[in-house]
Structure formats: C-alpha cells, structure tokens
Structure 1
Amino acid sequence: MKTARYLPLLICLLPWGYAFADTPLDLTHPAAPTAHIDITNVKGEVTINAWDRNEVHVGGQLGDGAQPLTIEGSDNNLTINVQAKGHGGWLNWNGENAMGETRLDISVPRGASLKVNVVSAPLSVDGIDGGDINVNSVSGRVRINAQTPMISAVSVSGNVAFSGRAKQAKLQTVSGDILAPSLGSTVDLQTVSGRIQVGGGPWQQFNLSTVSGDVQLTGALAAAGNMSVDSMSGDVQVQLPDSLSSHLHVSTFSGDLRTDFGTPTRPEHGPGSTLDTVAGSGNGKIHIETFSGDVKIRKGP
C-alpha cells in the first residue's frame, strides 16, 4: 500500500517533541539552564521535578480529546500547553469539558523559571533552585518545594503548601489553606476562609489579610520592618522573638486579646481590646486588627 510506504517519511517530518493523544508522552527539548517554561493543563495532574540537565523532558499520558502535544519555543523560552481538539473553534463549545485527564511528568533544569496554569489538576514542583515560580490554580492542590527569589501562587479552592525558601512570596487562596514555614523578606498573603500557617523572616514587609480563616504566624521582623495583619472573624496567633524591636498596635472589636508584649486596655463598656506598646528600641511597626477574631501574641526564642 502506498500509505504504508510513505508512513516512515511522515513520521520523520513531524515537529520535534510531538505526541498523539491516547499514547504515553515521551518528549524532549534542549533548554537553557535558566530557561523560562510556560505550562498549562486543564484536567489531570502536573508534576515538575528539577534535574541537572540542560533539557526539558515530558512524560505521562495525554488525555482523550486533547490535541497532539508539542514542546514549543526556543531553548530560553519553552511552552507546554494541553488543549482540547478544535480549541478556539466555534464548534468546540464543550471541548475542554469533554477532554480526558492528562498527566504531565515534567523534568526541567534546576535554575529554570516556571509559569504554570492549571484548572482541575493537582500541581507538584520540587527542586527548583534560583528561578522564579508563578502558579495559577482553580481547584487542584499546589505543593512546591524550592529555593526561589520569588513565588506567586494563586488558588481558588485548592490548598497551597510551600517549603524551601522564597525571598519574595505572594500566596492567595479563596477557600484553600496556606502552609509555608519559611518565607523571606517580602510577604503578601490573602485568603477568604482558608487557614494560614506560615513562618520565616526576618520580614521587611509582611502583609496578611483574611476574612474567616484562622492565622498562625511564627517569625521575626527585620530592622525597621513592617507587619500588617487584618482579619474579620478569624483568630490570629503570632509568635515573635524576645529580641523584637517594634511599635505594636493591636486592636479587636469584639474578640479577646492576650499578649506577652505590654498590657491591653479594655473599654469600660462593651467588648474589645487595644494594645499600644513598644518592644525593644521600637524600630519596626506591627499593626494587627480583627473584628470578632481573638488575638494571641507570644514571645518565642
């Protein structure tokens, strides 16, 4: 048959790093040690591991209804994008909903920077050392272990867990929890109902906002650092070192306030408490405010 005769030639003409649906993925592309890599997956799972090779490898399984997958771009800027067949066409209204789950097992250079977009796909990143990490997720949990100058992770309902070290961190969820025991000098945390448990420092700039999620902080303030914590109904628990040097202003409208720094004052009539005090030489500024949530501030080592 003529088709069989031309099949080897057709295979050779396929783009580098190309795979069909319903087959295991095994794609490789050269990459610079500090390449920027953009990854998108709607359904399934994404696992990213850093290695000491100047190349990107994609394994896993492409879901039914997905377009053939390619690794596109140059060695410095690479894109891995899972799309439904007919993506963008007017006949493909429900293409992404009908698409099966795709599992991506990706290896990247250790110094790479990542931009990852997932919808209903859990994400795991491990071993990045030196590159920035930017994540957007809808419902999948996010787990990241990295040494990075900057991490930004935004999730709607999935939990965000970060370990390693980040000099700058911006972590946001709606209903998911935030767990990050080692955050660096600049921190921005936001959640609606998720619990926040973080540590690290010394913090030069620390901002936290929550509606109903409880907060647990353990860390140190940098010289002349600023910390701001705002909660509506969530309880706030903060542990700061004995060597703290800062002005502290803490207030609750109806919640209970207990502290190892100074003595709170309470109104003669009605609930709530206020603390205005100075710890050490008062170089920094700490502002904590809740509406109905309790506040507890403890001295630590």
Structure 2
Amino acid sequence: MKITRRHTLLLSPILLSLSIGSALADAPINLSHDAAPNVRVSITNIKGTVSVTAWDRNQVQVSGHLGDGARPLTIDGSNSNLVIKVQPQGSKSGWFNWNNDTAMASSTLDLRVPKGASLDVEVVSAPLGIDGIDGGDIKVSSVSGKVRINARTPSLTVNSVSGNLELAGRAERVSLQTVSGDILAPTVGSDAELQTVSGRIRVNGGPWKRVNLSTVSGDVVLTGALAPSGNVSIDSMSGDVQLQLPDSLSAAIHANSFSGDLRSDFGTPKKLEHGPGTELETSAGGGNGKISVETFSGDLRIRKGE
C-alpha cells in the first residue's frame, strides 16, 4: 500500500503520543540538595525499588527513573530535614483517592546520603536496601517488599507485612515487626522488641538489657549473652523456640510449655502435677537477670553455648 501525505498526517499524532508515553514511562531522575551531616531524610515510594547508600559528602543525591503517571520528583525541605516523595499525578490526600496510586508505574530511586543521616522510609511494593549509615536512626514502613539494612545505628524500627527483614552492621535498639516475613538479625544490641506471626526469627547479639519477643507460628532462634540484671521474655504459640546462652549466664529462668517438648541444659524440666505441660524453674550463676519463655505447642530448647 502506498503511504500518502494524508496517511502521514493521520499517523503523526499517534506516533507522537506513543513516543511521549515511552519517555514518561522511563523519565530519568537527576537531583541533588546540600545537606547537614546529620540530616533527616524522608523517602516515600509506592512501586519500584529504593536504594540508599551513605557517602562522605554533605549532600543528598537522587538518581534512577520515575514511572509513568508520577508527578515530577523534587527534594523539598531544608538542609537539616529533606523530603523525597513519589506521588501520582493529580493525587489528593484521603482514602477516596487511593486508586490513583495503582495507575502509577514503578519508580526506581537510588539515593546517596551523608553517613550520619537519619532515615524515615515508607514503601509499599518496593524492595528497600540501605547501606553504610553510621550514627543516624532508621525508621522503615513496608508492605510487601524485602528490606535489607546494613548500618550502625542507635535505633532501628521496621514494620513490615510480608517482606523479609535482613539486618547487618549493628543496631543498639531495635523494634522489628512483620506478619509473614522472616527476621534475620545477626548483630542486635542491648534492647530488642521482636514480633512476627508466621515468619522465622533468627537473632544474635547482646549483651541484652531487654528482649521482648513474640510469635504465633514462626520458629525462633535467639543467641547471645544477658547484661547484668537483663530481662528476656519470649512468648510463642506453635513455633519452636531455641535459646543459645553462654556458660557464664547469670539469671533466674522460668520456662513453660503446654504441649511442646521442653529441654534445657540449665536445670531439669518437670511435668506439671495438675494438668498437661512441662515447666522449668531454675537459676544460673548468681541469678541476677531474668529469662521467661512460654510456648503452647512449640518445642523449647535452652542450650549452653561457648
């Protein structure tokens, strides 16, 4: 078929709209803002990925690409408090406008921030990675994305629904909550609040001043030492629990399981005289601290470590 000038005129608007749509679907991001060494950076992304890497500059830099249907991205605020938020075009606050977010394509945010920065991050279906923060506190809210954090921080708070939480570095105080995701934290400091429904918990650290851990069906492995007069409290419904404690432990130990198997290298568990269940009441060392573990149907092991 011979293409006439008339055909060209008819096709031009269509080709133009397709090229514009393609450009909008992958709009590059190249933003920067001067920042204080201890700047607080708030980051929000609904879809896509978020990666935050610390560097030695007093500047926040954002690269990546912005998904189709998103407003132009800006860095708002002052040098001490910056906000970076991916928002759908024409969005308004309120529950009746939540569907605007579903029409927005995925956005990728790659950030560089000062090492001493504090972070407030909100993601929905966006995996999150944080590397190199040293000194600032970190708060994360996530729905379905995996959260991976490698940082030295005095305070770490993560609330997640179905994504796994993987931590490296060291967090002195942590509050980690997930519904079905696993919590893997090899270096937790003195204070820990850990909650999950069906995810596994693997935590190592201490010496602990306070650990409060609860799970419904997820298995738990907790390894580490207790600080003088420290307190560890664990509550499990059907998940198995294993505590790995040093020979030098000094604590009063109370453990109880309704129908699970209870075994301990500290003291001897006994069957309850009235009703089902097994209980352990013993003291290790000077008995300065306190360890309390209760399970319903999950097995419980309290072991001596090296």
Q: TM-score, normalised by structure 2?
A: 0.90
Structure with higher helix content: 2
Hey, what does 1:10 align to over in structure 2? none
Hey, what does 1:82 align to over in structure 2? 86
Q: 1:154 deviation in Å?
A: 0.5
Query: Which of 37, 44, 52 is the equivalent residue of 1:40?
Result: 44
Rounded Cα–Cα distance in structure 2 between residues aligned with 1:150 and 1:93: 31
Deviations 1:151-196 (A, max 9, x none): 0001000001111101100000000000000100110000011100
2:33 is equivalent to residue 29 of structure 1: yes
2:98 is equivalent to residue 131 of structure 1: no
Please tell me whether Structure 1 or Structure 2 has the larger radius of gyration of its CA atoms. 2
Deviations 1:79-113 (A, max 9, x none): 00000001107995521101000000000000000
Paired letter, 1:23: A
2:38 is equivalent to residue 55 of structure 1: no
Hey, what does 2:182 align to over in structure 1? 177
Paired letter, 2:149: I
Hey, what does 1:235 align to over in structure 2? 240
Q: 1:23 deviation in Å?
A: 1.6
Hey, what does 2:195 align to over in structure 1? 190
Query: Judging changes above 3 Å, is the alpha-carbon distance between structure 1 residues 183 and 89 closer, same or farther for their aligned structure 2 residues?
Result: closer
Q: Secondary structure at the match of 1:281?
A: coil
Q: 1:262 deviation in Å?
A: 0.3
Determine if contact 2:256/2:293 at 8 Å carries over to the other structure: yes
Q: 1:267 deviation in Å?
A: 3.1
Number of equivalent positions: 282
Q: 1:275 deviation in Å?
A: 0.3
Query: Judging changes above 3 Å, is the alpha-carbon distance between structure 1 residues 92 and 229 closer, same or farther for their aligned structure 2 residues?
Result: closer
Hey, what does 1:221 align to over in structure 2? 226
Hey, what does 2:106 align to over in structure 1? 101
Paired letter, 1:36: R
Determine if contact 2:45/2:86 at 8 Å carries over to the other structure: yes
Determine if contact 1:86/1:92 at 8 Å carries over to the other structure: no
Hey, what does 2:10 align to over in structure 1? none
Hey, what does 1:144 align to over in structure 2? 149
Hey, what does 1:73 align to over in structure 2? 77
More displaced, 261-270 or 127-136? 261-270
Rounded Cα–Cα distance in structure 1 between residues aligned with 2:273 and 2:160: 43
Rounded Cα–Cα distance in structure 1 between residues aligned with 2:164 and 2:93: 33
More displaced, 267-276 or 252-261? 267-276
Determine if contact 1:123/1:143 at 8 Å carries over to the other structure: yes
More displaced, 86-95 or 272-281? 86-95
Rounded Cα–Cα distance in structure 1 between residues aligned with 2:274 and 2:150: 50
Q: TM-score, normalised by structure 1?
A: 0.91
Q: Secondary structure at the match of 1:94?
A: helix
Q: Secondary structure at the match of 1:33?
A: coil
Hey, what does 1:113 align to over in structure 2? 118
Rounded Cα–Cα distance in structure 1 between residues aligned with 2:289 and 2:98: 54
**1:269-280 alignment runs, 5 A limit:** 271-280=276-285
Q: 1:271 deviation in Å?
A: 4.0
Paired letter, 2:87: Q
Paired letter, 1:164: G
Which structure 2 residue ranges, 5 or more long, are not aligned?
Answer: 1-23
Determine if contact 2:25/2:105 at 8 Å carries over to the other structure: no
Hey, what does 1:5 align to over in structure 2? none
Q: 1:145 deviation in Å?
A: 0.3
Rounded Cα–Cα distance in structure 2 between residues aligned with 1:129 and 1:69: 27
Rounded Cα–Cα distance in structure 2 between residues aligned with 1:155 and 1:124: 14
Which structure 1 residue ranges, 5 or more long, are not aligned?
Answer: 1-19
Hey, what does 1:165 align to over in structure 2? 170
CA RMSD of aligned residues (A): 1.4
Query: Which of 203, 207, 212 is the equivalent residue of 1:202?
Result: 207
Deviations 1:52-96 (A, max 9, x none): 000000000100000000000000000000000011079955211
